[in-house]
Amino acid sequence: MLDIRLVRENTEKVIDALKKRSEDTSVLDKLLSIEGRRRDLLKAVEDDRQQRNSLSQEIGKLKKEGGDASALLEEAKKVSEDSVSKEAELRDLEILAKNELLLIPNIPHESVPVGRDENDNVEVRRWGNIPEFSFEPKNHWDIGESLDILDFDRASKIAGARFVIYKGGGASLERALINFMLDLHTKEHGYTEVITPLLVNREAMTGTGQLPKFESDLFKLEEGDAKGFLLIPTAEVPVTNIHREEILSGDELPIYYTAYTPCFRREAGSYGKDTRGLIRQHQFNKIELVKFVKPEGSYDELETLTNNAEEVLKRIGLPFRVISLCTGDMGFSAAKTYDIEVWFPAQKKYREISSCSNFESFQARRADIRFKTEGRKGTEFVHTLNGSGLAVGRTFAAILENFQQEDGSVIIPEVLRPYMGIEKISKK
RNA sequence: GGAGAGGUGGCCGAGUGGUCGAAGGCAGCCGCCUGCUAAGCGGUUGUGGGGGUCAAACUUCACCCAGGGUUCGAAUCCCUGCCUCUCCGCCA
């Protein structure tokens, strides 16, 4: 959510931002007209209230002294009654203004490349050598099925399309990845591990920006007692909301959290895409990194957060590149986003494995997360950042493809061996 | 699932219709005093919005879990919801 004052006083900047995102600017006209009326009415209502308050005070005083207050009572009643409709209208306008404001995306940072879609994203750096194979590299789902460590068919019997069963060495590898990533982030990168609810309420989803605009991406529970719960599409939601409606003290910051959670996504509208394999599942595991920081250093924090995510790939030994998303391709709440893309040999291209963003105060304003600096009056909104560190399923897939051998086996990357106790997954 | 209790400022806690943004205590801050420590004394300390100002001062409105209602006036009365706690039952 943007600051309504910014929208009011710096409208051009907001229009510019919307245009860069290829978004319709008409929402803004609507918002501003509502906001204008809201402010006029606020003044009127407050004047009424002031008058009423002072009359009431006199009535109180008079009654205490045993005087006759009936004339004042009459007057006060009139003021009150006259104000009723204004108060109601004001309430409506406040809700309307808030609703409109919630639909406006964040303003991109000045360093973000301007562009229409993913073709205008800018590659920032690459790491690692793309592996060469003396044979035609296979897709990870073929590898996984032939090693009997992934089972898509039976999963679809249990749940449906876009679900998977990890089995044997597959389950072990998935678990190893989770533990390796968590250990790296907690022991070396300074994050505190949290385990959070996977079902959350609407307020939490609104706080991070999934609602109200992206309801169709989410799984919801709608029956009986469960009514109102939504399944998290990312740990960003519960973790960022840990400090919702809190005023942190300045010296608590920065706060770094990491969390392992399953994530649930409807993937409505992506029917043709990635129908096979682990890339696009309704349920997948992810390690998330979340930061709460002071505004001054938040872009440095984005760099280190991104580096922290890259480090996972470096240690495993998977080639990747980092791209800076352009204005048209960035998510709704983000001010700047780096995507990390890992190499998939069978598809011969880089695919997203992490997305690291600075939301500046956009989420903090929605979720009301502030901090107070000792000796300074008032409070400020924190800046929130998050990124995947990493998507576990996609990392799993990348390992199968990049470390596959001609005989169909898969070499386990060295850093994962202590977690698994084996060096290789082979056919039985 | 059954029975009860309760949600007030950073914390504890008083307040049941009227100068209450809220007593008192603790903690914090400023000052005084005390040759250290501790104690003592005086003052001060919430958040958000509007107006105002270069900025401040100042001013006004709202906020005692949330949302409605009654009333000239609500922390205080009524309704609904949410949450917490205790006991019993059930349960990984």
A289: pLDDT strictly greater than 90 = yes
Q: Which of left, alpha, beta for A369 (phi over 0: left; psi -120 to 50: alpha)?
A: beta
Nearest nt (C1') from A88 Cα: B68
CB neighbours of residue A131 within 10 Å: 15
Measure A198 CA to B2 C1' (Å): 30
Please give the pLDDT value at position A85: 84
Q: What is the mean pLDDT of residues A294-310?
A: 95
pLDDT of A252 over the 80 cut: yes
DSSP string, A242-292: GGTTEEEEGGG--EEEEEEEEEE---TT-TTTT-SSSSS-SEEEEEEEEEE
**pLDDT (average), residues A229-242:** 92
Q: Which residue has the tokens 């979720």?
A: A367
Closest residue (CA to C1') to nucleotide B47 in the complex: A378
A45, closest nucleotide (Cα–C1'): B61
Per-residue pLDDT reduced to its tens digit, A373-417: 776 777 888 999 999 999 999 999 999 999 999 999 999 999 999
- Residue A78's nearest nucleotide, by CA–C1', is B72
pLDDT digits (tens, 9 = 90+) for A84-104: 888 888 888 888 888 888 889
Q: Say which range, A45-54, A217-226, A275-284, has the weakest mean pLDDT.
A: A217-226
The residue that leads in pLDDT, A143 or A224, is A143
Query: Can you spell out the DSSP letters for A75-117?
Result: HHHHHHHHHHHHHHHHHHHHHHHHHHHTTSPPPPPTTSPP-SS
pLDDT of A155 > 90? The answer is yes
CA of A48 to C1' of B21 (A): 21
What nucleotide is nearest A75 when CA is compared to C1'?
A: B72
A387/B49 CA-to-C1' distance in Å: 34
Q: pLDDT-derived band of residue A273, with 50, 70 and 90 as boundaries?
A: confident
pLDDT for res A342: 97
* Contacts (Cβ under 8 Å, ≥6 apart) of A357: A302, A330, A331, A333, A334, A335, A336, A337, A338, A385, A386, A387
Query: Which two structure tokens, joined as six digits, stand for A193?
Result: 């591990």
Kind and range of the H or E run holding A181: helix A169-183
Check residue A90 and give its pLDDT. 84
Measuring from the CA of residue A5 to each C1' atom, give the nucleotide at the shortest distance.
B49
Query: What pLDDT score does A265 carry?
Result: 94
What's the CA A31/C1' B79 distance, rounded, in angstroms? Answer: 34
In angstroms, how far is B83 C1' from A226 CA?
Answer: 17
Q: What percent of chain A has pLDDT over 70?
A: 99
Q: What is the pLDDT of residue A191?
A: 96
Q: How confident is the model at residue A126 (pLDDT cuts 50, 70, 90)?
A: very high
Active site residues of A: 265, 280, 352, 355, 394
| pLDDT score at A27 | 87
Length A242 CA → B26 C1' (Å) = 28
pLDDT over 70 (residue A314): yes
Look at residue A375 in the predicted model and tell me its pLDDT: 67
Question: Binning pLDDT at 50, 70 and 90, where does residue A362 land?
Answer: very high
3-state helix, strand, coil in chain A (%, to 5): 45, 20, 35
CA of A4: nucleotide with nearest C1': B49
Strand B bases near protein CB (under 7 Å) are 1, 18-19, 47-51, 60-62, 68, 71-73
Compute the distance between CA of residue A179 and CA of residue A297 in angstroms, rounded to an integer.
30
Q: What is the pLDDT of residues A195-233, one digit of tens each?
A: 998 988 888 888 898 888 888 889 988 765 566 788 999
Mean pLDDT check: name the lowest of A115-124, A129-138, A270-279, A283-292. A270-279
| Higher-pLDDT residue of A199, A425 | A425
Q: Which protein residues have a C-beta closer than 7 A to any atom of strand B?
A: A 5, 39, 42-43, 46, 49-50, 52-57, 59-61, 63, 73, 76-77, 79-80, 91, 225, 247, 370, 372, 377-379
% of chain A residues with pLDDT over 90: 59
Q: In Å, what is the separation between the CA of A165 and the C1' of B73?
A: 66
Find and give the residue nearest to B46, measured CA to C1'.
A378
Domains of chain A: 4-101 (1.10.287.40), 118-425 (3.30.930.10)
ipTM of the complex, rounded to two decimals: 0.82
Spacing of A42 CA from B59 C1' in Å: 16
The overall average pLDDT reported for chain A is 91
> What pLDDT does A225 receive?
58
